[in-house]
Structures are given as C-alpha cells and as structure tokens.
C-alpha cells in the first residue's frame, strides 16, 4: 500500500529577517502558502488568495521569482527540507504564513521541521482551526468583519502566543478590545501594527499601546526595504 505524501501549496520560500511581533530581528525562513478566502481590503499579499491550477509551476520557477506573483508550487515536506538545504539557508526559525496557512493541517510540517532542528511560527487570521505542533509559536492577527465573512474562533484566540492587530482607525482598536473581552484574553501579549505605515495610523498605535500597555509592531522589513 502506497503511503500518501503530505504536500503544501507554496507561493514563496525565502530567507530574510522577521520584521513583526515578538521575533522582530530574528533571521527567518518564510514559507508563504497559497490560498486565502478571508478578503482583507488592505492585504499586501493578495497574489496569494486564489489557488488557480493553471498557475502551478515547478519549484525552481517558484523559487526563482524576482517579484510578487500568483504562481505557486506544490512541495512535499521532504522537498521543503531539501530546498532549505540546497538554498544554503542559515536561519533556524521558520515562519509559516500566507495567504492563510491554517486552511491546511500544518502539524506534520511543523513536527518535521522541529525534528530537523528548526523552530516554527505560524501567522494566521484566527478564522480557521490551528493545526500545528505543540511547540509552534502562534501569531494570531485577528481579521474582524472582512469580506469573506469568517468569524474569529475561540480556539484560535486561546492558542495564540501573541496577538498582532493591524490598525488605522479607532474602530480597529475598539474591535480588538471587544474581541479580547469576548474571548477573555488577558495575559497574551498584544501588538498593534499600523496599516501601511501611515503617520496617523502609527500615531494612533503608539498612543493606544501606551494607554493599554500593549506593544508596537512597525513592520521593520518594510522600513528596511527587504522582503
């Protein structure tokens, strides 16, 4: 009997510096999965939303991309580990992002990566069940009232190691406060992230962080001009 190989649809796989949240400044390997139905209007990775079979390409084409595109490859866990070795990546922290990575079961991938000596982090909207290893660091960036109509899950909020919330207006702050109260979140670190680095959003985030003893996440990679 042939054992089914676990594969993942991947838009990008690259090494950089984590620019957000608790791991800001950490050398990291990003694995960006394809597919997301949440529909955030200000999303900066809209090219990962659709899974179009006609846009599936070979892994070398996906790895060789020099600009954002909706081309994606399907890689097995073994191929992912082999790619990391072949590319000569040195980082030992891996970020699973998207798209919405929690649309699929990430536990086999996390466990294989951890067994190979990596630490894992997943970045999710909190609208899908989080299926990861016990040691995986979970960053929930709750997406409230988005076009896709998905609700934030209590299980996702409870599993979060950190909550990273994009803000541009007072309404975004009010939505977060209501969400924290609804799910009885009191001790999980909260980061506010100004949307698009706009001055007014940044000023609001700073003021709100001081008022609530929250933390600021400024997307350092965008200020540095790196991916």
Q: Any binding-site annotation on 18?
A: yes
- The strand ranges marked E within 27-124 are 27-33, 73-76, 93-97, 119-124
Question: Which residues, listed in sequence order, are joined to residue 93 by a DSSP beta bridge?
Answer: 28, 119
42 is known to lie in a ligand binding site: yes
The answer on whether 142 is annotated among ligand-binding residues is yes
67 is in an annotated binding site: no
User: Looking at 77-81, 100-104, 143-147, which range is the least confident one?
Assistant: 143-147
Residue 40: pLDDT band (50, 70, 90) is confident
Residue 16 in this model has a pLDDT that exceeds 70: yes
pLDDT digits (tens, 9 = 90+) for 58-101: 999 999 988 899 999 999 999 999 999 999 999 999 999 999 99
The arithmetic mean of pLDDT across residues 41-63, rounded, is 92
Residue 203: C-alpha distances to residues 22, 80, 208, 219 (Å) = 20, 40, 9, 15
Q: Is 143 annotated as a binding residue?
A: yes
Domains of the chain, start order: 7-165 (3.20.20.70)
pLDDT at 153: 96
Q: 162's torsion region: left (phi>0), alpha (psi -120 to 50) or beta?
A: beta
Give the model's confidence band at 4: pLDDT under 50 very low, under 70 low, under 90 confident, else very high: low
pTM: 0.94
Which region holds residue 17: left if phi is over 0, alpha if psi is between -120 and 50, else beta? beta
């Amino acid at each position: 009997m042939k054992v089914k190989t676990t594969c993942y649809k991947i838009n990008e796989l690259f090494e950089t510096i984590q620019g957000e949240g608790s791991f800001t400044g950490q050398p990291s390997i990003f694995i960006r999965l394809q597919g997301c139905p949440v529909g955030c209007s200000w999303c900066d990775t809209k090219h990962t939303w659709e899974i179009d079979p006609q846009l599936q390409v070979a892994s070398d084409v996906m790895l060789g991309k020099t600009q954002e595109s909706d081309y994606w490859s399907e890689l097995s866990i073994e191929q992912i580990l082999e790619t990391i070795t072949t590319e000569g990546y040195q980082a030992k922290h891996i970020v699973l992002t998207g798209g919405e990575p929690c649309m699929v079961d990430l536990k086999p991938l996390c466990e294989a990566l951890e067994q190979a000596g990596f630490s894992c982090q997943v970045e999710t909207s909190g609208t899908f069940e989080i299926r990861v290893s016990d040691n995986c660091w979970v960053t929930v960036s709750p997406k409230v009232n988005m076009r896709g109509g998905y609700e934030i899950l209590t299980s996702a909020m409870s599993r979060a190691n950190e909550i990273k919330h994009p803000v541009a207006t007072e309404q975004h702050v009010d939505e977060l406060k209501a969400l924290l109260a609804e799910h009885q979140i009191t001790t999980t670190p909260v980061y506010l992230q100004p949307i698009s680095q706009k001055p007014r959003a940044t000023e609001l985030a700073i003021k709100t962080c001081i008022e609530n003893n929250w933390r600021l996440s400024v997307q350092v990679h965008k200020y540095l001009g790196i991916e």
